[in-house]
């Protein structure tokens, strides 16, 4: 009967396969884009790419085996290959979760157990397969692996904020919808009382899967990438300096934000603020000289007492602008943040920076709007 109804099922299935391939390629693109930042947490993008890539190929074999092959032995082989690929995708995701950046977020013993069981089920599926029992056990095991990946993402969501946080929530909702669709169409609800609804559930499941995939695609569109945990708490103060004329163009004190958030008990933060002012660009001449004279040497970091000073320079060797970030601890995420600040600042004020006299006279007015831009970068 499934073969007779393939004209009804196939449009949704083909659409699912196309979306799966698109998501696999898009996540791989995002991973390659953020890989240069050298932030290990972005490997979860590679996990998504593996999952959807294996899933698309799996679904393709399942569709061919279910709808186009009339030889029962060959059809069974294709379906086994499809389930094998799906299980392989889950195993690839679990192995990525066992990498060092994710260990604080997972129970490594649980992941290892699920991974070993997945590996055993793959071998069983290929060499010791028993119809129906083997298929159902693999589907259930794959479902367990998928649910654990969702659990991992809920922990990741709790540790993120801003745009990344909201995008991950949307993606998580899409995955839940996707799993509901898979469950409806899997045949696991095919008990005697619901026998007549099997094809209806299969059809509904196919379209629910597509809705989930579309939501995932929406949630990950222009995904900004994940930075290290608590990187914002290490921000202290930002300066933009005209190194040629030894002039401060713009500054931003991040401790003010934390003071407002923490209220009158923010004793330690006020101490930080006083300390940074005492060693800041406008405070002590030797630190100022140390920073500005590095412009020609292109030094990226300076260690000063309990602080680190991160430096970014204009792309043009003749550029005179220096971006200075005081931080508690040097982190890769903070370097990425400073690069974004540099790009946005030079892009936003490219025209104004040409006229030095006007900048000197009206710098507070000219650069006051960068506070809002900075907030967007922080989000």
Upper half-sphere CA count for residue 194 (Cβ side, 13 Å):
13
User: Which band of pLDDT confidence, cut at 50, 70 and 90, is reported for residue 109?
Assistant: very high
Identify which of 258, 347, 330 has the alpha carbon closest to the alpha carbon of residue 38.
Answer: 330
User: Which band of pLDDT confidence, cut at 50, 70 and 90, is reported for residue 270?
Assistant: very low
Assess whether pLDDT exceeds 60 at residue 269. no
Q: What is the pLDDT of residues 224-268, one digit of tens each?
A: 766 666 777 888 889 888 777 777 888 888 876 554 444 444 334
Domain assignment present for 351: yes
Domain boundary among 188, 220, 252: 220
Ranges of beta strands (E only) in the chain are 235-242, 247-253, 301-304, 307-313, 321-327
Taking the C-alpha atoms of residue 161 and residue 379, their distance in angstroms, rounded to an integer, is: 7
Taking the C-alpha atoms of residue 259 and residue 245, their distance in angstroms, rounded to an integer, is: 33
Assess whether pLDDT exceeds 70 at residue 283. no
Higher pLDDT, 151 or 359: 151
Domains contained in the chain, number: 2
* DSSP-assigned letter for residue 284: -
Token pair of 155 as six digits: 């922990």
Domain boundary among 168, 191, 220: 220
The mean pLDDT of 86-110, rounded to a whole number, is 87
Domain assignment present for 348: yes
The mean pLDDT of 77-102, rounded to a whole number, is 86
Upper half-sphere CA count for residue 340 (Cβ side, 13 Å):
17
Domain assignment present for 225: no
Q: Give per-residue burial for 21-30: e unless 16+ CB within 10 Å, then b.
A: bebbebbbeb
Residues 55 and 85 both lie in one domain: yes
Taking the C-alpha atoms of residue 99 and residue 147, their distance in angstroms, rounded to an integer, is: 19
Q: Is the pTM of this model over 0.85?
A: no
- pLDDT score of 261: 44
CB of 291 closer than 8 Å to CB of 309? yes
User: Which band of pLDDT confidence, cut at 50, 70 and 90, is reported for residue 16?
Assistant: confident
- pLDDT score of 95: 92
CB of 89 closer than 8 Å to CB of 61? no
Residues 180 and 293 both lie in one domain: no
CATH number of domain containing 311: 3.30.450
Q: Could you tell me if residue 301 is left (phi over 0), alpha (psi between -120 and 50 degrees) or otherwise beta?
A: beta
**Length of the chain in residues, anyone?**
379
- pLDDT score of 207: 87
Share of the chain above pLDDT 90, in %: 7
Taking the C-alpha atoms of residue 201 and residue 2, their distance in angstroms, rounded to an integer, is: 13
Q: At what angle do helices 370-378 and 332-348 cross, to 10 degrees?
A: 150
Taking the C-alpha atoms of residue 7 and residue 17, their distance in angstroms, rounded to an integer, is: 16
Assess whether pLDDT exceeds 60 at residue 2. no
Assess whether pLDDT exceeds 80 at residue 28. yes
The mean pLDDT of 26-49, rounded to a whole number, is 82
Maximum Cα–Cα distance for the chain, whole Å? 84
Taking the C-alpha atoms of residue 329 and residue 115, their distance in angstroms, rounded to an integer, is: 36
Could you tell me whether strands 307-313 and 321-327 are parallel, antiparallel, or unpaired per DSSP bridges? antiparallel
Q: Give per-residue burial for 136-149: e unless 16+ CB within 10 Å, then b.
A: eebbebbbebbebb
Task: Among 91-105, 207-221, 289-303, name the one with the lowest average pLDDT.
Answer: 289-303
Domain boundary among 220, 248, 263: 220
- pLDDT score of 297: 61
Taking the C-alpha atoms of residue 204 and residue 198, their distance in angstroms, rounded to an integer, is: 10
Domain assignment present for 226: no
Identify which of 218, 215, 137 has the alpha carbon closest to the alpha carbon of residue 178.
Answer: 215
The mean pLDDT of 315-333, rounded to a whole number, is 77
Domain assignment present for 74: yes
Identify which of 216, 212, 210, 206 has the alpha carbon closest to the alpha carbon of residue 186.
Answer: 206
Residues 154 and 210 both lie in one domain: yes
Residues 179 and 236 both lie in one domain: no
- pLDDT score of 317: 54
- pLDDT score of 211: 92
CATH number of domain containing 57: 1.20.1070
Residues 61 and 178 both lie in one domain: yes
CB of 208 closer than 8 Å to CB of 291? no
Q: Which domain holds residue 161?
A: 6-220
- pLDDT score of 129: 64
């Amino acid at each position: 009967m499934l073969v007779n109804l393939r004209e009804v099922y196939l449009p949704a299935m083909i659409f699912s396969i196309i979306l799966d391939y698109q998501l696999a390629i898009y996540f791989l693109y995002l991973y390659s884009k953020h890989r240069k930042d050298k932030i290990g947490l972005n490997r979860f993008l590679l996990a998504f790419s593996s999952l959807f890539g294996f899933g698309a190929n799996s679904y393709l074999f399942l569709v061919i085996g279910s709808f186009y092959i009339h030889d029962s032995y060959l059809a069974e082989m294709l379906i086994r290959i499809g389930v094998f690929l799906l299980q392989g995708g889950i195993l690839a995701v679990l192995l990525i979760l066992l990498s060092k950046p994710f260990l604080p977020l997972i129970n490594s013993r649980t992941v290892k157990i699920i991974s070993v069981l997945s590996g055993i089920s793959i071998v069983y599926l290929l060499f010791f397969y028993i119809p129906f029992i083997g298929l159902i056990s693999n589907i259930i095991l794959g479902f367990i692996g998928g649910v654990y990946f969702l659990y991992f993402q809920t922990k990741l969501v709790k540790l993120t904020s801003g745009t990344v946080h909201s995008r991950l929530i949307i993606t998580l909702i899409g995955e839940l919808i996707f799993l509901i669709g898979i469950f409806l169409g899997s045949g696991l609800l095919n008990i005697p009382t619901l026998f007549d609804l099997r094809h209806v559930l299969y059809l509904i499941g196919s379209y629910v899967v597509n809705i989930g995939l579309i939501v995932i695609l929406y949630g990950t569109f222009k995904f900004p990438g994940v930075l290290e945990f608590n990187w914002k708490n290490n921000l202290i103060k930002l300066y933009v300096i005209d190194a040629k004329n030894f002039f401060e163009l713009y500054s931003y004190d991040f401790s003010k934000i934390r003071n407002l958030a923490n209220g009158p008990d923010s004793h330690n933060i006020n101490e930080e603020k006083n300390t940074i002012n005492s060693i800041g660009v406008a405070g002590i001449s030797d630190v100022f000289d140390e920073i500005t004279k590095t412009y020609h040497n292109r030094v990226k970091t300076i260690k000063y007492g309990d602080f680190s000073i991160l430096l970014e320079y204009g792309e043009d060797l003749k550029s005179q602008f220096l971006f200075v970030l005081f931080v508690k601890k040097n982190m890769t995420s903070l370097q990425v943040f400073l690069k974004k600040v540099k790009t946005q600042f030079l892009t936003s004020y490219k025209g104004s920076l040409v006229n030095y006299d006007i900048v000197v006279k009206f710098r507070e007015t000219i650069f006051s709007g960068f506070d809002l831009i900075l907030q967007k970068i922080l989000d």
